Chains A and B, each alone.
Chain A
Amino acid sequence: MTECLTTTDNKVLTKGNYAIANAAVMAGCECYFGYPITPQSEIGEFMSGKMQELKRAYVSAESELAAINMVIGACSTGAKAMTSSSSCAVALMQEALSYAASDELPVVLISVMRGGPGLGNIYPSQGDYNQATIGGGNGDYKLIVLAPSTVQECVDLTYKAFYLAHKYKNPTIMLADGLLGQMMEPVEFKEYPYPEIDNSSWALTGAKNRPARVIRSYAPSADNQCEFLKKLHAKYKLIEENETDWEEINTEDADIILVSFGSPARNAKSAMKECRKLGIKVGLLRPITLFPFPSKRISELADTAKKFISVEINMGQMIRDIKLAVNGKAPVELLNRPVGNPPSVEEIVARIKKESEVL
């Protein structure tokens, strides 16, 4: 399977994990550092062969802490570098992500969620929505978070993760789940569609013929740190204005709006279509960026929609962001499965019917 990838003219049937890895190679990733963990180990497996074949850097790190800090090191030179991991191991990377946000480094992390908390299990999950969008590191920082729903989107958003990370000098997570990682679908690997970002003004490339540069997160003066945080958050605001992305279907006249990201959004979409056939006015809003979250659009829709239902594979995490966006204008209900495969279409349809009776 792996030998047919890198460049193809035709569609190929491939697993989400291989699709992500191949897309990273196509995006020009120069360095991969990783430590294996189910359900994303195929990413490292693919990279271990392909990166060496292309004479790029591949390091099987001694731990997740080492891996993410190697990415920080590589990114400080302006290189396109990444790591990939899953839930309990992404937990180990939180300190480094805070540093990378503070250092304004273009770190790319592929997070393929599995069950938690703790060691949990290897079934699909969306239990790390909060881990990705709020974060477990210290300080006022934000990571760009992208959420694919199909294997093709795993490719497209891996490209985008590298672009946005470098464009905004900000750590970027692509948040997939165990189902997408293991799922096979036909995909196309088109050329990397984004312009290359010039990192020469800040990258540590050796100080010959220019003054030395320092990248650090240490700010001994309070005033400086205030200025820095204001600047950092002005950047986050810019990201919100420019990069918020979502898919929206049948929302204009909808009484009920389903909000779902990642793999359960697939079932939410089918359920929405079935309910439309039954004459129930249902729409779907699928966030593609989780930070920036499409809060503004959800707030607009809350002026006319009578109810929102958040469909998630966790105990209800994104629902908090929906509630903040809706701001009391409409009730927000939760349809969840704690861990495992997404709620079935039938289950979602049944819930929509029930909710539509009490609008």
Chain B
Amino acid sequence: MENNFIIAGFGGQGVLLAGEVLANAFMLDNINVTWYPSYGAEMRGGTVNCEIVMNDAEDVSSVNKAETDYIVALNQASFDRFLSKVKKGGWMIANSTLVKQLKPRADINYIFAPVTALADKLGNVKMTNILSLGVLAKISRLVSLETLEKALDIVIPPHRKSLLPLNIKALKIGYEYDLSLTNV
């Protein structure tokens, strides 16, 4: 079985890091995984995204996918850009703090969760990316909260370890967010 994910947002929102945490989690579950960034002359405030392909059957995954199973859009530009890329029956998980709650396509699933507002409430708006991973874990059921916590421990460097508990809290808030509020 193969699934792919795109995490997209403003440069500075931590989309590459969130993707790295997710990819590490799949590795810990012994699933083949490939992570690659949109790569060009990127800058802070511009748009950035990364794609993660997980595969438990093939040794090598293909890249540059035409369609995506799960898209996490942390800003409006990413929602607009990647909406057409969601696979039929796939999921668009949008940050409703910054994305309008519109559903232009009828053949995909939508989650609108105010992850930036929730991160702000937690006390650090930088937790937006990890909060959205919690939502993604809940929706996809492809990775457990425990594995994501272990992956966070791998990715967060030693000199930032003091932020691990806050990240784990953010992950849980995302995971436990009441999806009935998201107007699915």
Decide: A186 and B62 in contact? CB cutoff 8 A.
no
Q: Which of the residues B24, B35, B40 comes within 8 Å of A122, measured between beta carbons?
A: B40
Decide: A13 and B64 in contact? CB cutoff 8 A.
no
**A13-B24, A184-B20 in contact; A341/B35 too (CB < 8 A)?**
no
Q: How far, in whole Å, are A273 and B36 apart by their CA atoms in the complex?
A: 23
**A11-B27, A13-B20 in contact; A184/B62 too (CB < 8 A)?**
no
Decide: B60 and A269 in contact? CB cutoff 8 A.
yes
Decide: A123 and B40 in contact? CB cutoff 8 A.
yes
Decide: A122 and B33 in contact? CB cutoff 8 A.
no
* A158 at the binding interface (Cβ < 8 Å): no
Decide: A186 and B63 in contact? CB cutoff 8 A.
no
- A271 contact set on B, CB distance < 8 A: 62
**A13-B27, A183-B36, A184-B35 in contact; A342/B41 too (CB < 8 A)?**
no
* A191 at the binding interface (Cβ < 8 Å): no
Q: Which of the residues B61, B63, B66 comes within 8 Å of A179, measured between beta carbons?
A: B63
- B65 contact set on A, CB distance < 8 A: 344-345
**A39-B39, A178-B39, A184-B23 in contact; A267/B34 too (CB < 8 A)?**
no
Q: How far, in whole Å, are A267 and B58 apart by their CA atoms in the complex?
A: 12
- A179 contact set on B, CB distance < 8 A: 36, 39, 63
Per-residue CB proximity of B149-166 to A under 8 Å, as 1/0?
A: 000001001100000000
Per-residue CB proximity of B1-39 to A under 8 Å, as 1/0?
A: 000000000000000000010011001000011111101
A/B pair count, beta carbons within 8 Å: 72
Q: Which residue of B lies closest to A4 (CB)?
A: B154
Q: Count chain A residues whose beta carbon lies closer than 8 angstroms to a beta carbon of B.
A: 31
**A3-B158, A183-B34, A184-B34 in contact; A342/B39 too (CB < 8 A)?**
no
Question: From residue A15, how far is it (CB to closest CB) to chain B in Å?
Answer: 9
- A342 contact set on B, CB distance < 8 A: 63-64
Q: How far, in whole Å, are A266 and B64 apart by their CA atoms in the complex?
A: 10
* A346 at the binding interface (Cβ < 8 Å): yes
Question: From residue B43, how far is it (CB to closest CB) to chain A in Å?
Answer: 13
- Taking residues whose C-beta sits less than 8 angstroms from the other chain, chain B's interface range is 20 to 34
**A13-B20, A183-B34, A185-B33 in contact; A267/B64 too (CB < 8 A)?**
yes
Q: How far, in whole Å, are A345 and B66 apart by their CA atoms in the complex?
A: 8
- A150 contact set on B, CB distance < 8 A: 60
Interface residues of B in 93-114 (CB under 8 A from A): none
- B60 contact set on A, CB distance < 8 A: 149-150, 266, 269
Question: From residue B1, how far is it (CB to closest CB) to chain A in Å?
Answer: 14
- A184 contact set on B, CB distance < 8 A: 20, 23, 34-36
- A87 contact set on B, CB distance < 8 A: none
Q: Which residue of A lies closest to B64 (CB)?
A: A341
Q: How far, in whole Å, are A5 and B107 apart by their CA atoms in the complex?
A: 45
Main secondary structure of the interface of A (DSSP, over half): mixed
Decide: A123 and B62 in contact? CB cutoff 8 A.
no
* A1 at the binding interface (Cβ < 8 Å): yes
Interface residues of A in 39-76 (CB under 8 A from B): 39
Q: Which of the residues A122, A185, A269, A270 comes within 8 Å of B39, measured between beta carbons?
A: A122
Per-residue CB proximity of A160-178 to B under 8 Å, as 1/0?
A: 0000000000000000001
Q: How far, in whole Å, are A273 and B23 apart by their CA atoms in the complex?
A: 25
Q: How far, in whole Å, are A343 and B61 apart by their CA atoms in the complex?
A: 14
Q: How far, in whole Å, are A324 and B63 apart by their CA atoms in the complex?
A: 30
- B154 contact set on A, CB distance < 8 A: 13
Decide: A341 and B40 in contact? CB cutoff 8 A.
no
* A133 at the binding interface (Cβ < 8 Å): no
* A111 at the binding interface (Cβ < 8 Å): no
Per-residue CB proximity of B42-75 to A under 8 Å, as 1/0?
A: 0000000000000000101111111000000000
Q: Which of the residues B23, B35, B40, B66 comes within 8 Å of A344, measured between beta carbons?
A: B66
Q: How far, in whole Å, are A199 and B75 apart by their CA atoms in the complex?
A: 58
Q: How far, in whole Å, are A149 and B63 apart by their CA atoms in the complex?
A: 11
- A295 contact set on B, CB distance < 8 A: none
Question: From residue A314, how far is it (CB to closest CB) to chain B in Å?
Answer: 16
- A39 contact set on B, CB distance < 8 A: 39
- B41 contact set on A, CB distance < 8 A: 122
7 closest A-B pairs by beta carbon, nearest first, are A270-B62, A341-B64, A184-B35, A186-B27, A183-B36, A267-B62, A346-B66
Residues of A within 8 A of B (CB): 1, 3, 11, 13, 39, 121-124, 149-150, 178-179, 182-186, 263, 266-267, 269-271, 273, 341-346
Besides the contacts A184-B34, A345-B66, what 7 more A-B pairs have beta carbons closer than 8 Å? A13-B27, A122-B40, A149-B60, A185-B35, A267-B62, A341-B63, A344-B64
Q: Give 30 CB contacts A-B under 8 Å.
A: A3-B157, A13-B20, A122-B40, A149-B60, A178-B39, A179-B36, A179-B39, A179-B63, A183-B36, A184-B34, A184-B35, A186-B33, A263-B63, A266-B61, A267-B63, A269-B60, A269-B62, A270-B58, A270-B61, A270-B62, A271-B62, A341-B63, A341-B64, A342-B63, A343-B64, A344-B62, A344-B65, A344-B66, A345-B65, A345-B66
Residues of B within 8 A of A (CB): 20, 23-24, 27, 32-37, 39-41, 58, 60-66, 154, 157-158
